């Protein structure tokens, strides 16, 4: 049984990104090639009912309906995910005693699940973002390493090939990421402590630089966005516990401002969306939660969306958008 994360021991060496939970996450959004918008998001629920889970929810953006999707190949939590218009790649994260290299390839059209190219190292607490051709996975907490790593994997969807991508500016884990067709913005999360640092990752050349900093040092967040902006739920804020704060990150100028706040303070959530809205699974509030917030980018409005099929946290998510391709 995996215990509830200890907030007093953020590195949790015995257990764990997730983009933050990944992660975090993790998922990316936008319009897909051909001009039609993303229609569904796949949410891996992560940790529920005292154990890791194989459960995934299929979330339909147009009417906020929620159904079950193809299950994971192994029960897991604290993973990360990215994808394009046809498939989502889910790094499973925590499965047993340590993280794993396993990634699942989720085909949206038929909810089929198979294994994809493995990570270059076993890990957990990662984050991910990508465009229509590749996903960039920050591995997070390396097994046998005893802490965060700078390693990022470049996953090519067409052939499931995996190589190393531009490394992070600082070793980290429990971060989050979002991006568009040209760049991914990675909130590093926990480095030597909660961090405000964000890296700007340019897919075309694997170059890495710093982007606009978060408004508060934090980790255990989640993120989603469209072709112009990314919305980052900060998660666990330095000195204040988990928060409702979200940052609005404008890619073109790396500017950072506050966005519409969450309906409840939370951490260890996940997020995915399309060109108009992001769906944020809040994760852990006063306990594992079924709540999802629907965030409308154009006006920074926040309402509740279709609830999860089970209370959970430490999940990951991806959608069938391609981050600003043909927007």
Q: What is the CATH number of the domain that holds 159?
A: 2.120.10.80
- Alpha-carbon gap, residue 313 to 267, rounded angstroms: 8
> Strand 65-68 relative to strand 56-60: parallel, antiparallel, unpaired?
antiparallel
Q: Does residue 326 lie in a domain region?
A: no
pTM comes to 0.90
Q: Which residues pair with 88 in a beta bridge?
A: 83, 106
Q: Does residue 2 lie in a domain region?
A: no
Q: Does residue 69 lie in a domain region?
A: yes
Q: Does residue 283 lie in a domain region?
A: yes
Residue 37 contacts residue 274 (beta carbons within 8 Å): yes
Domain extent for 67:
18-319
- Alpha-carbon gap, residue 53 to 77, rounded angstroms: 7
- DSSP per residue, 267-313: BS-EEEE-SSEEEEE--BSSSBB--EEEEETTTTEEEE-PPPSS-BB
Q: Residue 255: CB partners within 8 Å, gap ≥ 6? A: 212, 249
pLDDT value of position 322: 55
Number of domains in the chain: 1
pLDDT per residue of the chain (327 residues) written in tens, 0 to 9: 333 444 333 333 222 233 333 334 333 333 333 345 899 999 999 999 889 999 999 999 999 999 999 999 999 999 999 999 999 999 999 998 789 999 999 999 999 999 999 999 999 999 999 999 999 999 999 988 879 999 999 999 999 999 999 999 999 999 999 999 999 999 999 999 999 999 999 999 999 999 999 999 999 999 999 999 999 999 999 889 999 999 999 999 999 999 999 999 999 999 999 999 999 999 999 999 999 999 999 999 999 999 999 999 999 999 997 544 332
- The 10s digit of each residue's pLDDT in 239-293 is 899 999 999 999 999 999 999 999 999 999 999 999 999 999 999 999 999 999 9
Q: Does residue 259 lie in a domain region?
A: yes
- Alpha-carbon gap, residue 35 to 22, rounded angstroms: 28
Q: Does residue 8 lie in a domain region?
A: no
- Alpha-carbon gap, residue 295 to 303, rounded angstroms: 7
Q: Does residue 190 lie in a domain region?
A: yes
Structure tokens at 319: 């959608």
Question: Vertex 21, ends 295 and 57: CA angle to 5°?
Answer: 60
Q: Does residue 325 lie in a domain region?
A: no
């Amino acid at each position: 049984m995996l215990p509830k994360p200890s907030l007093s021991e953020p590195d949790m060496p015995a257990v764990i990104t997730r983009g933050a939970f990944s992660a975090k996450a993790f998922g990316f959004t936008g319009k897909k090639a051909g001009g039609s918008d993303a229609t569904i998001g796949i949410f891996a629920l992560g940790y529920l009912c005292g154990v890791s889970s194989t459960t995934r929810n299929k979330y339909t953006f147009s009417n906020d309906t929620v159904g079950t999707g193809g299950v994971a190949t192994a029960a897991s939590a604290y993973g990360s995910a990215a994808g394009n218009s046809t498939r989502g790649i889910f790094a499973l994260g925590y499965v047993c005693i340590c993280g794993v290299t396993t990634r699942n390839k989720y085909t949206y059209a038929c909810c089929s699940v198979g294994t994809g190219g493995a990570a270059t190292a076993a890990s957990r607490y990662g984050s991910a973002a990508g465009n229509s051709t590749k996903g960039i996975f920050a591995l997070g907490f390396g097994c046998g390493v005893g802490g965060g790593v700078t390693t990022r994997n470049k996953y090519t969807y067409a052939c499931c090939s995996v190589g190393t991508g531009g490394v992070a500016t600082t070793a980290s884990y429990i971060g989050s990421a979002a991006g568009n067709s040209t760049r991914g913005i990675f909130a590093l999360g926990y480095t030597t402590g909660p961090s405000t640092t964000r890296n700007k990752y340019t897919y075309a050349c694997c170059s890495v630089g710093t982007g606009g900093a978060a408004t508060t040092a934090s980790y255990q967040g989640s993120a989603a966005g469209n072709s112009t902006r990314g919305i980052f739920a900060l998660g666990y804020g330095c000195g204040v516990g988990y928060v409702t704060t979200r940052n609005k990150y404008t890619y073109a100028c790396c500017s950072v401002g506050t966005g519409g706040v969450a309906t409840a303070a939370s951490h260890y959530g996940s997020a995915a969306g399309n060109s108009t809205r992001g769906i944020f699974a809040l994760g852990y509030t006063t306990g594992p939660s079924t709540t999802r917030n629907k965030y409308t980018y154009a006006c920074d409005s926040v309402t509740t969306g279709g609830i999860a099929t089970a209370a959970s946290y430490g999940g990951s998510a991806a959608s069938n958008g391609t981050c600003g391709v043909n927007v």
